Chain A
């Protein structure tokens, strides 16, 4: 198992490199002189020269990439144009907020989603199932930022229960987590229900009934364990989706975080920051998929056997 884990981690390296190449090239695909895109307007010739030397912009592209990559690996993500601070500082400030938001949203989606999915599967084709699936349909098709705005409208503006924006205290987390979480819940509930129904139709379940076990016990102890495996895998694959939701929600609720940073710097053309944010998000997605693979191996002995 350990050797598989190491191999899997090593496989991340080429993916990371490929993604980094794409992100690196953003700067160079943009029309205009890269230097102009890196400096504030009206900078002195000395600043320009220094920037050139720093990024090696007079050297061939692959070398530039190498320099950039080398810097990134050492933790030097460049300097923000607008804020004139090291990008790494900005990221370090923003990251904890995003992690908190994303983590809580993931937890919410998983717990509520699995519960709803189980209830729907156990009551197949009766009203709880129909109601939950109706909710799922609405939840998965609603644009997250609109949901966020509606929640603000109802709970902040009309009822005044929660703050409209900002990041102070638990209160400010409720609506953002709910916004991402409801969409995630819809996804998890749908997958849980489908896998439960599919698992319940398998042969070994007939035998479980033949052993005289109670149906509830069969569903919750055996079928659910089976059904959770695809849920975990798909959730891990869709971690990017949760991140995407986090980006939008941060903007809607004006919360500090990687998303707000990214969008703000996009509109400000602050490319070093844009690159760093995208890199962080890409890495989060890759780690998420890795986590999914690990969890799947932990949950399914057949997968474990296939890996050794």
Chain B
């Protein structure tokens, strides 16, 4: 069986700026793939490309292909793509505070998804909505369904967004930094909900985040993005145990751990380069301790590493 979501050598540009290059990753059914990187690495862009929503931000796929369940999205009609969105692919956005339509009641916003994609009538859709809200541990679902977005807290709103993503009975959920804008305590709850979804419903999850801690908690595999290119990809445990790419290692080093000595949390010096000024060769070389002349001149090829891949001229020990 083909992978559910398959990005093969995808390149994305907005205007004349090439923001993503050679992105290849797959999400299998029932699997959780984490997509990690600092702000500006191109994570959200990847999500938009996977949804076919690049035109909304003036972008387009310039290389490679995006396939969903074996079908090339570029070869589909817009109507077919629309059927996918919300129906087989659910989307959870980053900022719950602005994700909901302020002048429409909660219930209607969720109902519309099941009415559109599952063909339910008004009553059936509302019943499904209430069911979903209850499953997501939203108290007094019937009351909440009649409420307005501004009456809910951030955590509640994000659960509603997840409900909207689930309403169409999707095979895949793409969650773009679903916890970044939330309180730390609420973050844990949302992550737990997402994890449960995978286990109980068998929904695949593409989880985009900059938080390696979350990845360690919930993901099966992880892909690390840096400055528009793939740095490393592989199953979570081995990758965390022995990261091959120096960037991955640095990211892992950023996770606070119990028993850590004070002051030992190291950030990564430098900043993600902007798309207008990508460094030549390996884009990470200005911030890399292992950088050599080869790194400064030639972009590293993607080579297999254990059950995954890495793009580095001097990868760490084999797993």
Contact = CB atoms under 8 A, between A and B. Distances in A.
B150 A302 contact: yes
Interface string A279-308: 000000000000000000001111001000
Contacts of A222: 101, 104
B98 A211 contact: no
Taking each of B53, B99, B101, B113, which has the highest tally of chain A beta carbons within 10 Å of its own beta carbon? B101
Contacts of A203: 93, 95, 98-99
A208 interface: yes
A225 interface: yes
A225 B85 CA distance: 23
* Interface-central residue, B86, B103, B151, by most chain A CB under 10 Å: B103
B150 A206 contact: no
A209 interface: yes
A207 B161 contact: yes
Contacts of A226: 101-103
A305 B148 CA distance: 10
Nearest to A301: B148
Contact of B117 (A212, A214, A301): A212
B85 to A, nearest CB: 4
A209 B103 CA distance: 17
Interface in B76-130: 82-87, 90-91, 93, 95, 98-104, 112-113, 116-117
A212 B84 contact: yes
B98 A202 contact: yes
A225 B105 CA distance: 13
A210 B51 contact: yes
Interface string A181-208: 0000000000000000000001110111
Nearest to A226: B103
A128 to B, nearest CB: 20
B102 A211 contact: no
A209 B85 contact: yes
A90 to B, nearest CB: 45
A225 B103 contact: yes
Contacts of B246: none
A145 B184 CA distance: 63
Contacts of A207: 91, 93, 99-100, 161, 164
A204 B112 contact: no
Contacts of B95: 203
Contact of B98 (A204, A208, A299, A302): A204
B56 interface: yes
Contacts of B91: 207, 210-211
Given A210-B53, A212-B117, A305-B151, A204 B82 contact: no
Contacts of B103: 225-226, 229, 299-301
Contacts of B148: 301-302, 305
B116 A211 contact: yes
Which has the most chain B C-beta neighbours within 10 Å: A204, A212, A222?
A212
Interface string A103-127: 0000000000000000000000000
B99 A204 contact: yes
Contacts of B228: none
B53 A208 contact: no
B165 to A, nearest CB: 8
Contacts of A208: 101
A210 B93 contact: yes
B178 interface: no
Contacts of A73: none
Contacts of A225: 103
Interface string A147-190: 00000000000000000000000000000000000000000000
A308 to B, nearest CB: 12
B116 A206 contact: no
Interface in B203-240: none
Contacts of B34: none
Given A212-B86, A214-B82, 8 more contacts: A207-B99, A207-B100, A210-B53, A210-B85, A211-B113, A211-B164, A213-B116, A302-B150
18 contacts: A204-B102, A206-B56, A207-B100, A207-B161, A207-B164, A209-B56, A209-B85, A210-B53, A210-B93, A211-B112, A211-B164, A212-B86, A212-B113, A213-B86, A225-B103, A299-B103, A301-B103, A302-B148
CB-based closest 10 A-B pairs:
A212-B86, A210-B91, A203-B98, A212-B85, A211-B86, A301-B148, A212-B82, A204-B101, A302-B150, A207-B99
